[in-house]
Amino acid sequence: MPAIERGQQNTSDNINWFISVGGVLTDAFLLQFRIHDISAGLPGTQVFPLPDGTFEDVTSNLGHFAAGSYYAFDGTNNFGWTPGVGANLGTYRIEWQWRITSGAALQSGFEDFEIVSSLPGPGPGGTSYCSVQDIRDAGLTDLAAYPDADVLAAINLWQAFLERACRQWFAAKTIVLSVDGTDSDTLHFGVPIISIEYLKLNDSSEILDASNYRVYNGTSYPDDRRNPRIKLRSLDDMADIYTAPISSGRLRFRKGRQNQEIKGVFGFVEEDGSTPALISRALCKLVIEKLANPIPVPGGAPAFAPPPIIAGALLEERTDGHLRKYGDSISFDPRRPSPYMGLTSDQEILDIIKMYRAPIDIATPAHPSHLR
C-alpha cells in the first residue's frame, strides 16, 4: 500500500494510476480523481478536491507525466497533491475516473493508501529524519511565511547535507554491493550492517551458506555500528574452487576487483530501526536556522546586512605607494570543524555531526584470523 507523510508532496512514483489498452499504455480522453479519508471507515469523508462530489482533472496538466501515466496532482497550486500537516493519520482512498475516448463509457477504479507521521525507508521519497510537523512543533508555525512545500524542500536539502557530512545514512536501505576481495577473512563496511540477505564469495554464482560467516551488526553491547564487518569462519574440510583455492580449506575473500557480492540492509539506526534522536534534532535545528535566515536574493534587498570585512594582521605597508598587505582573516577555532566553517554557528549541530561521522576508511588486516 502506498504511503505519504503529512506535508509531503506526492510524486509520480508514489500515488499514481496507469491506463492501458491491449497491454499498451494509452492516454485517456479524460482522467480525474478525488480523495476520501476512510480512517474511520467507509464511505469516508472527501478531503480533496473540495467541495464534496467534485473531481480534480489531471488529463493534460503536470499530473500527466507519460503516456497513459498519471499521478495525484494539485492543479490549483501546481504541485503534487500534499496532505496537510494536520491531516488525520490512517487509511485514505483515491478514486480515479476516466474515459478512453469522448464517446466511451466512464470507467473507475480506486486505490487505498496511508497517511503516516514518518515513512519507513531512506532517501528521496522515503524517510525524512524529521517531518514537517516536527518543524511546526519546534516553533516555525507561520504557514504563510514558511509553506509546507518550502519546509519539506529544506528538510530534503539539509538531510542530504547531514548524510554527506556524516558519510552515512540513518535509515534502513537495501542495497547490493560488489566489493574488492582483500585476501583475508574479513570485509569492513563504511555503513553499519542491519542484516545480510546473501553473500557470494570470490566471483561464485552460488550463495554462501550463512553458517560460514558471521555478521557484526550489534546495536547495543557490543555496538558494531562503529566497526561493521563480515567475518568468515574456518572450514578446513571445504574443497570448493571458489571458496577455498590453495588455502587448505580455509575461507577467505580472495584478492580481486569487485569479486565479492553482498546484498543486505544497511544504515545507522537504533535497535528498533528508528533514526537516532540526535540526528533528527540536528536536522530539525538546521532546517529552522536556514529557513529563518535565508540567503540574500541577488538584485534585491538583502534579508540581513552582510558582515563587515575583517582583515587579518598587517603584514606589509608602503607609505609612498599606499600599499597595505594583510594576512588571512580566517581564525581556526578548534570548536568548529573547518569543513563547515560558515555553514552554521550552532555548536550542538556541529558536535552531533562529529559524533556520528563515519571514518573515511578502515584498513583490513593483511592476514586472516579465522573464527572457530
Q: What is the pLDDT of residue 330?
A: 46
**Does residue 307 carry a pLDDT above 50?**
no
- Residues 19 and 349: their CA atoms lie apart, in Å, by 48
Q: In this predicted structure, what is the pLDDT of residue 31?
A: 96
Could you give all domains of the chain from N- to C-terminal order, each with its CATH number? 3-117 (2.60.40), 173-266 (no CATH)
Specify the long-range contacts of residues 141-149, CB closer than 8 Å, at least 24 apart. Answer: 146/291, 148/7, 148/82, 148/84, 148/85, 149/9, 149/79, 149/82
Residue 274 to residue 161: CA distance in whole angstroms = 19
* pTM score of the predicted model: 0.54
Cα 259 to Cα 249: distance, rounded to the nearest angstrom: 19
Tell me: pLDDT of 278 over 90.
Answer: yes
| pLDDT level of residue 223 (50, 70, 90 thresholds) | confident
Q: Does 302 or 208 have the greater pLDDT score?
A: 208
* pLDDT value at residue 53: 93
Q: Pick the residue with more confidence: 246 or 157?
A: 157
Instruction: Tell me what percent of the residues of the chain surpass a pLDDT of 70.
Output: 76
Q: Which amino acid is at 266?
A: F
Q: How sure is the predictor about 123, in pLDDT bands with cuts at 50, 70 and 90?
A: very low
Question: Helices 347-356 and 148-166 sit at what angle, rounded to 10 degrees?
Answer: 50
Q: Which of the residue ranges 13-17, 34-38, 81-85, 250-254 would you say has the lowest mean pLDDT?
A: 250-254
Asked if residues 173 and 123 have their Cβ atoms less than 8 Å apart, the reply is yes
| Mean pLDDT along residues 296-310 | 50
Mean pLDDT of the residues in the chain: 80
